[in-house]
Amino acid sequence: MSRSRRSVTLAVAVIAALGLAACGPAASSGGDASTSGPATELSLVGFAVPKAANDAAQKLWGATPDGAGATWTTSYGASGDQSRAVVAGLKADYVHFSLEGDVTRLVDEGLVADDWNAGPNKGIVSDSVVVLVVRKGNPKNIQTWADIVAPGIGIVSPNPGSSGSARWNILAAYGSVLAAGGSDADAEAYLTKFFTNVAALPGSGRDATTAFTSGTGDVLISYENEAILARQNGEDFDYVIPESTLLIENPAAVTIKADPKAQSYLDFVLSTAGQTAFAEVGFRPLDDSVKVEVKGANDPKNPFPAPAKLQTIADDFGGWSATNKKFFGDDGLVTRIQQETGKS
C-alpha cells in the first residue's frame, strides 16, 4: 500500500480484472434477472491486465442484492488506448485504467467528475509491484536491475507509447538507480542500456506476457499480479521481486452518466470481499487486514512480501503530472531514449 495511504483503514478488495483486448459481452455478474428485478447492462472499459480480478469481483457482486440482475459489456486493451476510446465515444459506466492520467483525460472531457479521487483510497482500486519474470530455473541468474542490462540479455516490456504497464516498469528501472545512490545522469545512462537490450515492446502488459511465454527474450518486466496469474494458469516461469521496486497503483472511476449500479460495483471492489477476490489472483490488497493464500505466488502463504525499497510515484517522482512531462512527453527522457535506440 502507498505510504500516503498506509494509515487509512479501508475495507477493500481487489478490483475488476481486465484482460485481453476484447470488446463484447463478459461473464454476467448478475443474478437471475427474472426474479431479481429488471436487468441492467453495465459497460466496463479498462486496461489489459486485471481481467481475471474483475471477472471474479463481478461474479461475487452479482450474487449480492445490489448486483442482482446486472450484466456486463467489457472492453480491454492498452490503458492509454482504452482511455482515448472512451473520449472518442466508447460507452463506459465504469473505467479501470493503469494510470491516473488515463482517468484525468476523461475528467478533462467532462466524462468523469472532478472529485473522482477524493475518497480515502484516492481513486485507487488495485495495487501491485514491478517484478522481473525469468525463465524456469532462472538460467541467466537475473536477480537485480543491473543484471538485465548486461550484454546479451533480451528484455520484454510493453511499449510506453500505448501501455500504462510500461510506464510503471520503466520508472521502476529508473528509480532503482536513484535508490542505490545514483544520480539522474546515472539513471538516464541506465535507461539507455535498458532500451538497447529490449527484444520486444508489445502494445500492452498482457501482450508482453504472451510474447515472453512464446519464447521472446530472457526477462519480462511485469506486474507481480500478472506473473502470479500466469503461473496459476499453468505458465512455467519464475519471478523475482528486486530489492528496489515501484508500487503500482491503478485507478478506477464511475462516469458521470453511468447507471447508479456502477457506483455500487466500485464500492464492492473496495470492500473486503472485493479486495480478497483481487488478492486471490495476485493483486496486493489495499487493506492490510486481508489475508489470503495465493496459488502461483513464490510463497503462497506469504504471497506479498515487503520489498526492501518500495518507491511510489507521489513520494519519489513528484506525482504523475511532473512524471509524465519529464519522462513521457514529446520531449521526455524516455521518448528521446526510445528514438535514439530505435526502440519505439
Tell me, what amino acid is at 157?
Answer: S
Distance CA 135, CA 179 (A): 26
pLDDT at 7 over 70: no
* pLDDT in the model for residue 23: 36
Element spanning 180, H or E: none
DSSP string, 20-46: SSEEEEPPP----TTTSSS-EEEEEEE
For residue 11, name the pLDDT band (cuts at 50, 70, 90): very low
Out of 50-59, 155-164, 225-234, least confident range:
155-164
Q: Look up cell 455478474; give the residue.
A: 29
pLDDT at 326 over 50: yes
CB 187 within 8 A of CB 169: no
For residue 29, name the pLDDT band (cuts at 50, 70, 90): very low
Instruction: State how beta strands 124-135 and 22-25 pair.
Output: unpaired
pLDDT digits (tens, 9 = 90+) for 70-92: 999 999 998 999 999 999 999 99
Give Cα 335 to chain centroid, integer Å: 21
* pLDDT in the model for residue 206: 86
pLDDT at 33 over 50: no
* pLDDT in the model for residue 220: 98
Strand, helix or coil for residue 207: helix
pLDDT digits (tens, 9 = 90+) for 229-240: 999 999 999 999
pLDDT digits (tens, 9 = 90+) for 276-324: 999 999 999 998 889 999 999 999 999 999 999 999 999 999 999 999 9
Tell me, what amino acid is at 13?
Answer: A
* pLDDT in the model for residue 41: 97
More reliable by pLDDT, 23 or 271:
271
Domains, in order of start, for the chain: 22-126+249-280 (3.40.190.10), 128-246+309-341 (3.40.190.10)
Measured CA to CA in angstroms, residue 140 lies from 96, 215, 231, 238 at distances of 35, 15, 20, 12
Alpha helices in the chain (DSSP H): 51-62, 79-87, 100-108, 164-179, 184-196, 205-213, 224-232, 261-269, 272-280, 313-316, 320-323, 333-341
For residue 38, name the pLDDT band (cuts at 50, 70, 90): low
Distance CA 316, CA 237 (A): 31
Give Cα 344 to chain centroid, integer Å: 21
Percent with pLDDT over 90 in the chain: 83
Phi (first) and psi of residue 67, to 5 degrees: -95, -5
Strand, helix or coil for residue 290: coil
pLDDT digits (tens, 9 = 90+) for 137-158: 999 999 999 999 999 999 999 9
* pLDDT in the model for residue 198: 98
What is this structure's pTM?
0.87
Q: For residue 264, which of 296, 212, 273, 77 has the smallest C-alpha distance?
A: 273
More reliable by pLDDT, 50 or 233:
233
Over range 226-251, report the average pLDDT. Answer: 97
Q: Phi-psi region for residue 26, left (φ > 0), alpha (ψ -120 to 50) or beta?
A: beta
Measured CA to CA in angstroms, residue 170 lies from 82, 96, 245 at distances of 20, 21, 11
* pLDDT in the model for residue 12: 33
For residue 16, name the pLDDT band (cuts at 50, 70, 90): very low
Give Cα 255 to chain centroid, integer Å: 20
